[in-house]
Amino acid sequence: MLIYNVRPQAMARLNLGYEEVAKVNPRILYVGVYGYGQGGPYAAKSAYDDLIQGAVAIPSLANTAGADVPRYAPSAIADRIVALAAANAVTAGLFHRERTGEGQAIDVPMFETMAQFVLGDHMGGLTFDPPIGPSGYARILDHNRRPYRTKDGYVCVLVYNDKQWRRFFEMIGKPGLMDNDPRFATIGERTKHINELYQMVAEVMPTRTSAEWIALLEAADMPVMQLHTIDSLLADRHLDAVGFFDVVEHPTEGAIRSMAIPSQWSKRRHRSHARRLAWASTAPRCWPKPATAPQTSANWPRRAPPCSPRLRSNAISGASLDYKPRNPAARRHSARGRSIARPDSRVP
């Protein structure tokens, strides 16, 4: 499998287009994850997360939802969502090859992937032709859809179905509201009047502390969560209990915090951490030339050397290269005491 994230035009200049690669290895999965589909006028444009967010209206939606100006989401969401879409495409491609023996080219353009992602929520009345209403998911775009200020901070609350709203109205001293006010009687009517509902929640939340609201809502089995900062997230008691964080020794940078792979598998006995990532940033992209002195973690190059003809040949043929420890006894230990292999050399 060959995955690339540069423009297809760059791959063609390197003589690494699909046709050339497939001649050498017809079974290869040739996966392009780049900006724009090649059938449209944006085909040759460069793309980055911010640009794709803007192209699919995410900053405009933030502005509609209450931001003072259009703003990008404070996370590289386009990069990450498109990467997940690419992983799904690769999985399907591998399954197809397993069944048929056939390789193929798979394109995962960022713009189209994110357009589908955003419009799935916000096409709204424009879904129909002719349109039956405006675009936008009203509940998500309501300016009161945000963490609620309490007496001493903020909490995240989502009262959603009939049972939850009835309990919440009783909790705030309005037990008959669903029966007496048709605006709040059904989910359809509540959606039409979501601004009034969320405003009602916003007005009552400052009457108690965050801890009081969390205790009260949890006792009623209603959706509530504390509002974290990044710093407090690192100390979250649930993440600590499930062993989400670990501290590993980087070969050049010292101790770093490692996050667990979030999925759990019944065939594995313990949660896995992405330990290779602890040193992958210093690993050369191409195999180093044989040298008289062994390549050790202390003298790995900070920047990868130019790709060798051998690496290019292996990539085209579909060969898999992996880093392996020359000395199996070379170990390192995590903060939790588990021994993990660390390569002290590179296999030439």
- CATH number of the domain that 78 lies in? 3.40.50.10540
Pair (265, 322) in one structural domain:
yes
Task: Give yes or no: residues 178 and 252 share one domain.
Answer: no
CB atoms within 10 A of CB 319: 11
pLDDT tens for each residue of the chain, 348 residues long: 999 999 999 999 999 999 999 999 999 999 999 999 999 999 999 999 999 999 999 999 999 999 999 999 999 999 999 999 999 999 999 999 999 999 999 999 999 999 999 999 999 999 999 999 999 999 999 998 999 999 999 999 999 899 999 999 999 999 999 999 999 999 999 988 999 999 999 999 999 999 999 999 999 999 999 999 999 999 999 999 999 999 998 888 899 999 998 888 888 766 566 554 444 444 444 434 444 444 443 444 444 444 445 545 554 555 544 434 333 333 343 334 333 333 333 333
Do 31 and 90 touch, CB atoms closer than 8 A? yes
8 is a domain residue:
yes
Residue 341 class from Cβ within 10 Å (0-12 exposed, 13-18 middle, 19+ buried)? middle
Which of 196, 227, 258 represents a domain boundary (last residue)?
227
Side chain identity at 156, as an amino acid letter? C
What is the count of structural domains for the chain? 3
The dihedral formed by the CA atoms of 134, 39, 71 and 76, expressed in degrees to the nearest 10: 130
Instruction: Establish if 133 belongs to a structural domain.
Output: no
HSE of 24, CA atoms in CB hemisphere, 13 A:
18
Backbone dihedral region of 16: left (phi > 0), alpha (psi from -120 to 50 degrees) or beta?
A: alpha
What pTM does this model have? 0.75
Q: Are 307 and 320 in contact (CB under 8 A)?
A: no
CA end-to-end span of the chain, whole Å? 21
Residue range of the domain that includes 52: 2-127
Q: What are the E-state strand segments in the chain? A: 2-4, 29-32, 104-107, 148-149, 154-157, 224-226, 245-250, 254-259, 331-333, 339-341
Q: Are residues 285 and 305 in the same domain?
A: yes
